[in-house]
């Protein structure tokens, strides 16, 4: 998914409590919300393994970077080719304990 689409979703959860952020992502109609929710669950699990208090976690930083674009072509009439760019993104979510 393109970074531009995912950034809209990541902006909604930045700075929020993880439980509230998960609720926002669960009820968001955007397709990218499921991808961000997977990354957030992974960050929570990593914090749990590092023996952090999961109930007091806050989304400290969340950002999306562009990844390499896959370039494809779709054939059109009279032998023409139409370029298709399948964009990808790198999603990063950082959580830390609230002070």
Give the up-direction half-sphere exposure of residue 25: CA atoms within 13 A in the CB hemisphere. 25
Structure-token pair, residue 64: 């999306």
pLDDT reading at 14 higher than 90: yes
Residue 95 DSSP label: E
* Cβ-based neighbours of 14, under 8 Å, separated by 6 or more: 59, 61, 62
Please tell me whether the overall predicted TM-score, pTM, comes out greater than 0.85 for this model: yes
pLDDT at 25 over 90: yes
- What superfamily in CATH does domain 3-97 come from? Ribosomal protein L22/L17 (3.90.470.10)
Q: What is the pLDDT of residues 26-85, one digit of tens each?
A: 999 999 999 999 999 999 999 999 999 999 999 999 999 999 999 999 999 999 999 999
Please state, in angstroms and rounded to a whole number, the distance separating the CA atoms of residues 34 and 39. 9
**pLDDT-based confidence at 99, cuts 50/70/90?**
confident
């Amino acid at each position: 998914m393109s970074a531009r689409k995912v950034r809209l979703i990541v902006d909604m959860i930045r700075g929020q409590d993880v439980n509230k952020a998960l609720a926002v992502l669960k009820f968001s109609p955007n397709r990218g919300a499921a991808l961000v929710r997977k990354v957030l669950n992974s960050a929570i699990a990593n914090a749990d393994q590092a023996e952090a208090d999961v109930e007091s976690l806050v989304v400290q930083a969340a950002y999306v970077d562009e990844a390499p674009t896959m370039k494809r072509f779709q054939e059109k009439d009279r032998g023409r080719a139409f370029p298709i760019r399948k964009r990808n993104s790198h999603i990063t979510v950082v959580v830390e304990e609230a002070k």
